A and B are shown apart, each in its own frame.
Chain A
């Protein structure tokens, strides 16, 4: 029998109220070292289905302990046999404790910014140019375009930092995750500061009417939980 793992928290006595997890399974509390893990029994060889119900259930289970303590959420779909799970926790005990410390009393807020700034380079191409050269010039233009977008993204990220950076205990910023989405920021905010953070964001948005904002939260600290973050790097030629 495998376990579906939702989150890890500092030791909790018992669940405040019964919680239902993915695929309608009941959620249990399992104690490992000085931690409590929220799990449910998971049957079968196939993966947990990524359905609306399961996704929302996963998040709801993680949230259910937010009142008592700030948990470290596991990624959706984490299934382990109990011995392997225990071994993982014991092996990484120190790192997990450090992470729990880092997120204590906080929640995650998310800011995503879209920019529709598409300035196309319309310099005329020289008349005689082979198809090979045209191809490479087009790729060059794309690269330059994406370099320009990266510049814009860096500038917007720096501006965002100026505006609300002081509220965040930690932050994770992604530049240009997609074509129009130039900044995706996650901020770890002490709970009592969330209102001030929101207010400051609201006024900041008015300063940049050309940008489109999405603010969501509060979330459990998904972005600030992973203990293997030191591997984080980007592939590709810089």
Chain B
């Protein structure tokens, strides 16, 4: 036997509103107006004999689909959309920096410690192996951080945003966020700079010199790869944009 739960218009409208909740294209007032329209539309359809659920279905279909409405409202609320984009870019940049430099410093220190602990003879074996090791660890770090950021912003983007949002409304929340960021910043700095200081203090100066040299080679390789990669990406995007604009 089929069990039917009675239709609740308020609940249905709440669910419908959630489609747009994270969208910067629609402001609160826009949603209020659309909701008012939806309720008028449902009432009119019910008066013509449709059930509550049917009326809601027809009314929301007539309203238009979510993507279409977002695009059209986005054209009118351009400033809000751009504010949202700039904000997310800034957040992304900061999360990236906060993660990448401490993680990179830790992994490099681990390699340096491993090499000296394993009694690697820099003077006999040369710098090729340490340089490759440093570069490989750097690659792993960047890849790992990329995966983490992708997971945070793309996979968990919605819940990440909705978890942060409540903090932004009050002053206490803002102070809490600032405090947490300062803590992360401080820990990151202590870890990344502290490890370098410790190496300088306790390592044999000649070994330290060789480690610094191989790290510098690896950094140079990375700088070239990274900058080259960005230039290539920019060119590809510029070409794509041109092709889409002309089509």
Query: Do A and B originate from a single complex?
Result: no
